Amino acid sequence: MDLEQTIVDKYRLEKRIGNGAFGDIYLARHLTTKQKFACKVEKVSEKHPQLKYEERVYHYLKGGKGIPTVYFYGEVGDYYCMVMDLLGRSLEDLFCFCNKKFSLKTVLMLGDQMLQRIEFVHINNFLHRDIKPDNFLMGNGKNSHILYIIDFGLAKRFVDPKTGEHIPYRDGKSLTGTARYASLNTHIGQEQARRDDIESIAFVMIYFLKGCLPWQGVSGDTKEEKYQKIKEKKIDTPITDLSKNLPSQFLKFFELVRNIGFEDTPDYVALRTLLAEMFTNKNFQNDFQYDWVIKANKMSKGRYHSLTNDNRKTKEFYQGKHHYKGIQSKSMERKGRKRAQDSGKFSTQA
């Protein structure tokens, strides 16, 4: 898309900051206020368009905590454009920044927010169906401690808006979402339901704590063969192995999730309570001091030291030479500590 393109005489595209299977994302700036936004674009000629549907989902979720606001959607030349909040880095980016290992404290703070976000999506009768670290981003500025959920191109209503009834159970379905984090039921070919979004969150937490999942690295000559091998590995991996060497609450978490029926409403409170128990048992403070915040602050203290080959990439990351800026500042660190002192509770309520 032409970088000189203006959108409804309000926004000007500046540079591409990301891309995905369904289009590109550009940095846009408001012509009057100079405020920065993200602009997701998709060609009008796209054979399988997603953006219009995604914009409608954002409309239904409007106003929710951790849901980006959409400011404009429409046709601009040969493209459909959606202007929305510019967020910080994805959890996958931050995970790599932290050498692919998060502490228990960081995972619990993130896990609590992930459950809050997906509960809100479910309350509004949608399934996300593509839960993964890339689809959770941290906020910017005063909201840099808040986790946002994005990318609703694969979302689906699980309640018929006309009848109010839950969608019927079906099998023989093809895999929708990302194989690494998809639930076992999804691999088997069952129609997805709320339980499957929750199981994907559980896989994400294990990934963050252990650095990988047992089925990572599985290969195949075709995508279908690879998916089949991942499915077989998930079937052969008991939840006791997934939660091995972790607090016992993770096994209980998986047990709760695997016992949710197709039409059942997950017990979000019980799931978040398990995370809160671990948080309390470890005497953690809910100060929003995520691992990347601590690492960035350490780098800040020594950022004028000479660079070596080993720390050049993390140095550049801290300085913002990446497609999203989202490292929490020292002022946010102080605000986070004050919130912890004021609340004294685990739940972020973010």
- Tell me which residue range forms the domain holding 81: 14-85
pTM > 0.75: yes or no: yes
Classify the C-alpha dihedral 138-244-210-184 as positive or negative: negative
Give the orientation angle of helix 248-258 with respect to helix 268-281, to 10 degrees: 180
- 52 plus 160 within the same structural domain: no
Write the CA distances from 156 to 20, 153, 207, 344, integer angstroms: 19, 9, 25, 37
- 49 belongs to a structural domain: yes
Give the pLDDT mean for 61-84.
96
**Active-site residue (options: 130, 134, 196, 291):** 130
pLDDT by residue (tens digit) across 277-332? 999 999 999 999 999 999 999 988 765 444 334 444 444 444 343 333 333 444 44
Is 282 annotated in some ligand binding site? no
Domain count, the chain: 2
**Which among 86, 1, 82 is positioned nearest to 36, based on CA atoms?**
86
- The residue among 85, 115, 131 that closes a domain is 85
φ/ψ of 67, rounded to 5, equals -115, 120
85 catalytically annotated: no
CATH number for the domain harbouring residue 100: 1.10.510.10
User: What DSSP state is assigned to residue 166?
Assistant: B
Please check whether residue 329 lies inside any domain of the structure. no
In the prediction, which pLDDT does 301 show? 76
Kindly indicate the confidence band of residue 23, based on its pLDDT and cuts at 50, 70 and 90: confident
